[in-house]
Structure 1
Amino acid sequence: MRMKIIVAAGFTCLLASGCGGAASSSDGVDSKATPTGTILPQRLDQPDTSPDLEADAPADDAPFSKQLEHELSVRTLKMAQGEGKATAQCPSDIESNKGRTAACTTTYDGLKIRWDVTIGDTAAWSESYVEYKATPSTGIITKAGVAKLLFGNYKGYIDYALCNNIPKATLVPLNVETKYKCEVVDKGKKPTGFATSTVRATEAGPRAY
Structure 2
Amino acid sequence: MRTKRIVAAIGGLGLILTACGVGSDDSAQDYSFPELPQAVANPVRQPSDLPMPWAQPGDVFHEVVASGLRGKTIDMANTDGETTARCPADLVLKDGAEAVCVSVFEGLEVEWDVIVGPASDAHGRPVQWSAEPRKGILTRDGAANQVYGDYSGPDLVRCSNIPKAVLVPMLGISGHSCQTVVDGKAGKPMPIEVGLVYPKLQCRHRTLEACVG
* Pair 1:207-2:200 in alignment: yes
TM-score by length of 2: 0.70
Query: In the alignment, which residue of structure 1 is the partner of 2:128?
Result: 131
The correspondence of residues 86-97 of structure 1 with structure 2, limited to 5 A, is 86-97=83-94
The correspondence of residues 13-162 of structure 1 with structure 2, limited to 5 A, is 27-29=28-30, 38-52=34-48, 54=50, 61-121=58-118, 131-156=128-153, 158-162=154-158
Structure 1 residues 47-81: Cα deviation after superposition (integer angstroms, max 9, x where no partner): 154344659x7995431111111111110111001
Structure 1 residues 175-195: Cα deviation after superposition (integer angstroms, max 9, x where no partner): 111211122112x2333xx74
Question: How has the CA–CA distance of structure 1 residues 102 and 162 changed in structure 2, closer, same or farther, with 3 Å as cutoff?
Answer: same
TM-score by length of 1: 0.71
**Greater helix proportion:** 2
> What is the root-mean-square deviation in Å for CA atoms of aligned residues?
3.0
Cα distance between partner residues in 2 of 1:182 and 1:121: 37
SS in 1 for 2:145: helix
Amino acid in the other structure paired with 1:206: P
Structure 1 residues 144-176: Cα deviation after superposition (integer angstroms, max 9, x where no partner): 1011111111123x1112211011000111111
Question: How has the CA–CA distance of structure 1 residues 49 and 145 changed in structure 2, closer, same or farther, with 3 Å as cutoff?
Answer: closer
Highest Rg: 1 or 2? 2
SS in 1 for 2:28: coil
Structure 1 residue 141: deviation in Å? Answer: 0.6
Amino acid in the other structure paired with 2:201: A
Cα distance between partner residues in 2 of 1:104 and 1:59: 17
Tell me which of 177, 181, 185 is aligned to 1:181.
177
Cα distance between partner residues in 2 of 1:91 and 1:51: 26
Query: In the alignment, which residue of structure 2 is the partner of 1:198?
Result: 191
Contact 1:111–1:170 (8 Å) recurs in 2: yes
Contact 2:85–2:103 (8 Å) recurs in 1: yes
> Which is bigger in relative contact order (C-alpha 8 A, separation at least 6)?
1
Question: How has the CA–CA distance of structure 1 residues 155 and 204 changed in structure 2, closer, same or farther, with 3 Å as cutoff?
Answer: same
Cα distance between partner residues in 2 of 1:130 and 1:207: 24
Sequence identity (%): 31
Cα distance between partner residues in 2 of 1:28 and 1:110: 42
Query: In the alignment, which residue of structure 2 is the partner of 1:167?
Result: 163
Contact 2:119–2:130 (8 Å) recurs in 1: no
Cα distance between partner residues in 2 of 1:122 and 1:138: 21
Question: How has the CA–CA distance of structure 1 residues 87 and 39 changed in structure 2, closer, same or farther, with 3 Å as cutoff?
Answer: same
